[in-house]
Amino acid sequence: MIMENKKSKFITKDIMKDATVECFKKLNPKYMAKNPVMFVVEIGFLITLLLTIFPNIFGDTGNNLRIYNFIVTIILFITVLFANFAEAVAEGRGRAQAETLKKTRKDTSAKLLDSSGNVKVISANELKKDDIVLVESGDVIPNDGEVIEGIASVDESAITGESAPVVKESGGDFASVTGGTKVSSDWLKIKITATPGESFLDKMINLVEGASRQKTPNEIALNTILVSLTLIFLIVLVTLYPMAGYAGVKISISTLIALLVCLIPTTIGGLLSAIGIAGMDRVTRFNVIAMSGKAVESCGDVDTMILDKTGTITFGNRLASDFIPVGGSEKAELINYAVICSLKDDTPEGKSIVELGNKLGCSVDKDKYINIKFEEFTAQTRMSGVDLEDGTSIRKGAYDAIKKRVNELKGKIPEELEEEVNKVAKLGGTPLVVCVNNKIYGVIYLKDTVKPGLVERFGRLREIGIKTIMCTGDNPLTAATIAKEAGVDGFIAECKPEDKIEAIKKEQMDGKIVAMTGDGTNDAPALAQADVGLAMNSGTTAAKEAANMVDLDSDPTKILEVVEIGKQLLITRGSLTTFSIANDAAKYFAIIPAIFTVAIPQMQVMNVMKLSTPNSAILSALIFNAVIIPLLIPIAMKGVKYRPMKAELLLLRNMLIFGLGGVIAPFVGIKIIDMLITPIIRILNLG
C-alpha cells in the first residue's frame, strides 16, 4: 500500500470555494474544446437551452415539451459543471500545495561578490547565472547554485519538511544548494546556476500548480479513443433518427441529445484530466517532484530497476556481523572483550559491535567500565581501544596494526589468523582484529548491512514483473553475497559509470522501461538515459537536471514507492475507464426500450429495470450520468488501492470490481432515481 508523506484533507473549504468558482469559468467554449467529450455535452446543453426557449423550432410537439426540455437542459448543465468541478478540485489541491512553496520564494537580498571579493547587497531577483554570492549563518540562499568554497549546515525544511540540517561543502555530491533554503551555521560561497524565475523552486511551483502539465502519451491515446467513441455514437444517433421515423417513433431532439450524452463516455471524459493532475499531486505529496506527467506515467510501466548498492540497498556503514575466535579462544571471551573495547566508541561500527554482542548474550557489566580510558582510532595507529584500571589494554583494529603491536609486546600470532582475515576480506567485509595485552582473541567481521524490509519489497516488485539489478564497485564475490541477501534479481560488480549506461541501454534495446536513482555528477548520464531517473535533492545540480524526478528527502529507496505510485495512476485510469464504458453499456437497457416500446411493444422485454415511463427512463439515466461523476471524484483524487500482483490477476480483479460494478451500478442507480422522480413527472404531466 502506498503511504503519503504529507497527510492532508481530501478537500478543504478554500479548495471547495475556489473549485466552485473555477468550474463556472471553465464553461468557456475555448477551454471546453480541449476536452472533446465534455465539449459535446456543452453543445448539447446549448441546443436544449434553445429548445427550452423555442420548443417548436425543430417541429417537435408534445405535452409540456418546454418543461421537459428545461429539465434536460438543467441536467446537462450540471453534468458539465460536475466534470469541471472534478478538474478544478485536482488543480485546487495542487495550488494549495504551491502556496506553501511560494512562501519560501520571498524576495530576499543577496550578498554579491565582485572580482575583488567585495560584497554588494542586491535583490535576489537581480542575480544572474554564474554570479558568486556569499551566504552566512541566518541567510536565506537567494537562488540555486553550487558551493565553491566553505562548509555549512543548511536548513532545507521549508522545501523538504525534514527538520535536520544538511551539511553542504564544495566538491563531491553535496555541493548543490536550493534557493529558499536557510544557512544554519558557518558560511558558503555559491556560484549561481539558475536565472530568477527558472530555479528548482520555481519549476516545482509551476508543476504543482499544473501550469506546466502536459498530457501524457497514454492520456492522449485514451483521449483519442474517447473522441472516436463519441463520433461513433454521434453517427449512430444521426442514423437512428430517420430509422425511428420509419418505424413510426417520434423522437424529440432533446431526447436524442440525452441519449447521446448517456451513451458517450462522459464519466471518464469528465474525470480524465483530474486523474492525471491527481497522479502528479500524489507524487508531490510523497515529497518527490516529477518534471513531467510522462515521468509519473513511465513509473507505472517500469520493467527494470537499476539500483546503487551503497545507500540504497545497504546502509553504507560497515556494521558488525560476526565474531570469529582464533588461537583456541572462546567466542564468549572474544565477544566480551570486543564489547568492552567498544563501550566508548561512538562510531557506527563501535555501536554495532556492542549491539551485536548484547544480542549474542554478552555478560559484560557496563557499570564497571565507566572510568576506563578510551583511545580513539587515528590514521597513524589504525586501531582504537581502552585501558582498564587494572592495567589491562584492549585494542581492536587493522590486521597489520594489531599484528605489529602484539609482536612488539612479544606475543604470539595464531596460525589461522591470517586465513580468517583473508576470508572476511574476500567476502567484501572489513576484518577487525581484537587483542588483549599481547594475546589475540579473534576477528570482528564488519560488513555493509542490507536495509531491513528490502527483501519483501523486492519480492513485491518481482510479483508485478519488475526486475531489479544492483550496481556496485565491489568484487564479484562480495556483490553476489549482498545480492543474494537483498533478494535482487541480478548485479553488476566492479561497476563504473559507463557500465550503468550500458546496462540501461541493453534493457531498453529489449523493449524494457528502466528506472534508476543517483545523486552524483557521474550518475547524470545514466539518469538522463533511463526512462525514469530519480535524483536526490542533496545531490549535484548536474544529477537533478539530468533526471526527470527529484526526491526532496534524498532517500534512494523511495524509487520503490514512486514506481508503485505510477502503477496506481495507470490502474486508476484503467479502472475508471472500465467502469465508465460498462456504465454506458448498461444505460442501453434504460433508454433504448423507453424510446421504442410505444411503437414496438416487443421491446418491452428489454425494459429489465421496469422503468415507469419513457420520459422517466430517459431523465433517470441522464441524472445518473451526471451524479456518478462527483461520486467518483474521491477515487480519481486518491487513486484506486494498489496491490502488487501479476498483470493477469490485476486485469481479472479490475474487470470484476469496476467492469461488473460498472454494469450493476446503473441498474440500481437508475431504478432508484426512476422511483424518486416518477411522482414528479406525473404531477408535471410529462408522460
For 540-587, write each residue's pLDDT tens digit.
777 777 888 888 777 777 787 888 888 888 888 889 999 998 888 888
Grid-cell match 605489529, residue found: 404
Is 508 flagged in the annotation as binding? no
Cell (9 digits) for 44: 448539447
From residue 682, alpha-carbon distances to 360, 366, 597, 616, 618 in Å are 83, 89, 19, 9, 15
255 and 367 together in one domain: no
**Domain span at 322:** 317-449
Cell (9 digits) for 302: 517500469
508 and 398 together in one domain: no
| Residue 654 counted as domain residue | yes
Is 303 flagged in the annotation as binding? no
Does residue 44 contact residue 260 with C-beta atoms inside 8 Å?
yes
Is 200 flagged in the annotation as binding? no
What is the model's pLDDT at position 347? 84
pTM as predicted: 0.66
**Can 308 be counted among the known catalytic residues?**
yes
Pick from 15, 584, 591: nearest CA to 268: 584
Predicted confidence (pLDDT) per residue in 398-446, tens digit: 999 999 999 999 999 999 999 999 888 877 788 999 999 999 999 999 9
Cell (9 digits) for 601: 411493444
Is 333 flagged in the annotation as binding? no
Tell me the residue length of the chain.
687
What does the alpha-carbon distance between residue 3 and residue 23 come to, in Å, rounded to a whole number? Answer: 30
Cell (9 digits) for 274: 483530474
Is 519 flagged in the annotation as binding? yes
423 and 504 together in one domain: no
Cell (9 digits) for 463: 510479483
How many domains is the chain partitioned into structurally? 3
What is the model's pLDDT at position 396? 95
515 and 619 together in one domain: no
Does residue 537 contact residue 552 with C-beta atoms inside 8 Å?
yes
Is 378 flagged in the annotation as binding? yes
Predicted confidence (pLDDT) per residue in 440-476, tens digit: 999 999 987 788 888 888 888 888 788 999 888 777 8
Of 432, 449, 466, the last residue of a domain is 449
578 and 662 together in one domain: yes
**Which amino acid makes up residue 26?**
K
| Residue 185 counted as domain residue | no
Q: Which residues pair with 169 in a beta bridge?
A: 151
Predicted confidence (pLDDT) per residue in 360-379, tens digit: 988 888 888 888 899 988 87
Pick from 463, 459, 464, 428: nearest CA to 446: 428
91 and 232 together in one domain: yes
Does residue 628 contact residue 583 with C-beta atoms inside 8 Å?
yes
What is the model's pLDDT at position 1? 35
Is 377 flagged in the annotation as binding? yes
Burial of 389 (0-12, 13-18, 19+ CB in 10 A): exposed
Out of 12-26, 302-316, 411-425, give the one with best mean pLDDT. Answer: 411-425
392 and 484 together in one domain: no
| Residue 46 counted as domain residue | yes
What does the alpha-carbon distance between residue 229 and residue 577 come to, in Å, rounded to a whole number? Answer: 12
Pick from 380, 395, 381, 377: nearest CA to 437: 395
What is the model's pLDDT at position 4? 40
pLDDT band for position 60 (50/70/90)? low
What does the alpha-carbon distance between residue 144 and residue 160 come to, in Å, rounded to a whole number? Answer: 15
336 and 321 together in one domain: yes
Of 501, 525, 552, the last residue of a domain is 552
587 and 597 together in one domain: yes
Q: How is residue 523 annotated by DSSP?
A: G
543 and 583 together in one domain: no
Provide the CATH number for the domain around residue 514. 3.40.50.1000
| Residue 404 counted as domain residue | yes
Provide the CATH number for the domain around residue 336. 3.40.1110.10
| Residue 431 counted as domain residue | yes
**Which amino acid makes up residue 405?**
R
Pick from 71, 36, 46: nearest CA to 623: 71
Is 612 flagged in the annotation as binding? no
88 and 212 together in one domain: yes
Mean pLDDT (the chain) is 83
From residue 140, alpha-carbon distances to 111, 137, 143, 183, 524 in Å are 11, 9, 9, 6, 27
What does the alpha-carbon distance between residue 573 and residue 560 come to, in Å, rounded to a whole number? Answer: 21
Predicted confidence (pLDDT) per residue in 621-678, tens digit: 899 999 999 999 888 888 888 777 776 787 788 888 898 988 899 989 988 998 999 8
Cell (9 digits) for 401: 596494526
> Is the predicted pLDDT of residue 205 greater than 70, yes or no?
no
Is 345 flagged in the annotation as binding? yes
Is 557 flagged in the annotation as binding? no
Does residue 585 contact residue 663 with C-beta atoms inside 8 Å?
yes
* Residue 31: CB atoms within 10 Å: 12
Of 423, 449, 475, the last residue of a domain is 449
Q: Which of 77-86, 129-138, 334-343, 539-548 has the lowest mean pLDDT?
A: 539-548
| Residue 196 counted as domain residue | no
Predicted confidence (pLDDT) per residue in 490-544, tens digit: 998 888 878 888 999 999 999 899 998 877 777 788 888 988 888 887 677 777 7
Is 602 flagged in the annotation as binding? no
Predicted confidence (pLDDT) per residue in 117-135, tens digit: 888 888 877 888 888 999 9
393 and 260 together in one domain: no
| Residue 107 counted as domain residue | no
* DSSP notation for 442-505: EEEEEEEEEPTTHHHHHHHHHHTT-EEEEE-SS-HHHHHHHHHHHT-SEEESS--HHHHHHHHH
What is the model's pLDDT at position 7? 45
Positions of E strands within 229-297: 288-290
| Pairing status of strand 304-308 against strand 467-471 | parallel
| Residue 130 counted as domain residue | no
Angle between helices 217-246 and 266-285 (to 10 degrees): 170
What does the alpha-carbon distance between residue 97 and residue 685 come to, in Å, rounded to a whole number? Answer: 51
To the nearest 10°, report the CA torsion of 337, 341, 344, 346. -110
Annotated catalytic residue within 308, 448, 474, 674: 308
